[in-house]
């Protein structure tokens, strides 16, 4: 691993580093892996970082520690908990790359609630990758950080570069995300409409492993590349009507795969369907807004900044809506 990727060690070893990363919303979704361990996706995806939301993580390598310590949002995790194992496995990759064996203290907090329909793992693994690699004394390129983040959570690869990002296919080194436009290229807004705060029973790591059990997945993957190209083109042309139709189709196809998996994954609830129908009604009355939905029931409404107040107001009038969060485009994962 170490000699495949040119890693340069800093002259003076940094023991502690803090990083901040934003979550992202995918316009073209990633669902299913070619390689589960490396999280190499079966299709390219496209996203926007969410600048109003972030996760901040401090990693301290400390010789006096006997084992890793993990705190997320002030809660300490025991070594037999899945979150602890996933995070420490990620830090193990960094230790391997840096050729160190020191245990670490990892402290992370987010400014958005768990269960709000925001994929917290994207921001979490992007921030963890930037902080832990710097604290281990590595100086990684953006591509190497995106590769590292991808190993923790596929979508985290897209939270490393700035603004609007694409994550393409490739091998371990090549399947990384790059920015296709900075945050100020287009002031798109994500209005996150919360219709449930329950923790999902099957997370995306388990979901990706079920994708191939759906007879629809092969067709989804075949069509994904042309949706990706068309969406990318519409985004760069700042054409929301064209892009909106593609993102709605792409998310519905992904949920079709989820619902037809064995066992099936029904992430939608009645509130989800209500927001989809309301979005169509709002559009027919002249409000340009489009929906996309991740691995959960909550709906992300995508619109331009000029219409965000109208979208928030309309959403808050629906009885199914428990909360609304708003974010525009965000910058890269970075040391602070
Ligand atoms: O990165 P993961 O394993 O949390 O998967 C993300 C899956 C979706 O959010 C449903 C789609 C995406 O591309 O973000």
Task: Supply the pLDDT for residue 118.
Answer: 82
pLDDT digits 0-9 by tens, 48-101: 999 999 999 999 999 999 999 999 999 999 999 999 999 999 999 999 999 999
Mutational test site, ligand 1, from 24, 29, 291, max ligand atoms within 8 Å of CB: 29
- 9 C-alpha to center of ligand 1: Å? 32
This prediction has a pTM of: 0.94
Residue nearest to atom 9 of ligand 1 (CA): 294
Cα–Cα dist 275/133, whole Å:
41
The structure tokens listed for 108 are: 């992370």
Task: Supply the pLDDT for residue 8.
Answer: 47
Peptide bond preceding 263: is omega within 30 degrees of 0, i.e. cis? yes
Task: Supply the pLDDT for residue 200.
Answer: 80
Mutational test site, ligand 1, from 23, 25, 31, max ligand atoms within 8 Å of CB: 31
Task: Supply the pLDDT for residue 119.
Answer: 80
DSSP states along 186-225? --EEEEEEES--PPPSS-HHHHHHHGGGSTTHHHHHHHHH
Q: Which residues of the chain have pLDDT under 70?
A: 1-14, 115-116
Q: Match 């203290």 to its residue by tokens.
A: 105
Task: Supply the pLDDT for residue 13.
Answer: 47
Number of domains forming the structure of the chain:
1
CB 42 within 8 A of CB 32: yes
pLDDT digits 0-9 by tens, 99-113: 999 999 999 999 998
- 32 C-alpha to center of ligand 1: Å? 9
Cα–Cα dist 70/66, whole Å:
13
Q: Match 């790059």 to its residue by tokens.
A: 178
**Looking at residue 101, which CATH number applies to its domain?**
3.30.230.10
Residues with CB under 6 A from ligand 1: 26, 29-31, 45, 119, 121, 153-155, 204-205, 208, 294-295
- 64 C-alpha to center of ligand 1: Å? 37
Task: Supply the pLDDT for residue 12.
Answer: 39
Beta bridge partners of 300: 192, 292
Cα–Cα dist 147/150, whole Å:
5
Closest CA to 190 of 47, 30, 18: 47
Parent domain of 92 = 2-335
DSSP states along 67-116? S-EEEETTEEE-TTSHHHHHHHHHHHHHHHHHT----EEEEEEESS-TTS
CB 85 within 8 A of CB 152: no
- 154 C-alpha to center of ligand 1: Å? 7
Q: Match 């959403």 to its residue by tokens.
A: 315
- 7 C-alpha to center of ligand 1: Å? 28
């Amino acid at each position: 691993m170490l000699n495949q990727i040119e890693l340069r060690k800093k002259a003076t070893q940094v023991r502690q580093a803090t990083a901040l990363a934003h979550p992202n919303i995918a316009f073209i979704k990633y669902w299913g892996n070619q390689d589960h361990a490396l999280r190499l996706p079966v299709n390219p995806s496209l996203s926007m970082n969410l600048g109003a939301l972030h996760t901040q993580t401090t990693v301290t390598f400390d010789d006096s520690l006997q084992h890793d310590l993990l705190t997320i949002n002030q809660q300490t995790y025991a070594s037999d908990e899945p979150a602890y194992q996933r995070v420490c496995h990620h830090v193990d990759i960094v230790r391997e790359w840096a050729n160190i064996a020191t245990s670490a203290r990892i402290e992370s907090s987010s400014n958005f609630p768990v269960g709000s329909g925001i994929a917290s793992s994207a921001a979490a693994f992007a921030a963890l990758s930037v902080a832990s690699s710097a604290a281990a004394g590595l100086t990684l390129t953006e591509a190497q950080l995106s590769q590292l983040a991808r190993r923790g959570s596929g979508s985290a690869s897209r939270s490393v570069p700035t603004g609007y990002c694409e994550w393409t296919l490739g091998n371990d080194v090549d399947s990384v995300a790059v920015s296709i436009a900075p945050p100020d290229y287009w002031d798109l807004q994500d209005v996150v409409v919360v219709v449930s705060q329950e923790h999902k029973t099957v997370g995306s790591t388990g979901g990706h492993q079920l994708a191939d059990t759906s007879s629809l997945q092969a067709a989804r993957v075949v069509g994904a590349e042309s949706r990706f190209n068309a969406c990318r083109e519409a985004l760069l042309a700042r054409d929301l009507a064209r892009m909106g139709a593609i993102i709605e189709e792409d998310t519905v196809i992904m949920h079709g795969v989820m619902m037809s998996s064995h066992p099936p994954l029904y992430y939608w609830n009645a509130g989800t369907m209500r927001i989809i129908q309301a979005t169509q009604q709002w559009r027919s009355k002249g409000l340009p807004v489009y929906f996309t939905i991740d691995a959960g029931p909550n709906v992300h409404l995508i619109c331009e900044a000029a219409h965000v107040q109208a979208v928030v107001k309309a959403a808050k009038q629906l009885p199914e809506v428990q909360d609304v969060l708003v974010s525009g485009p965000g910058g890269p994962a970075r040391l602070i």
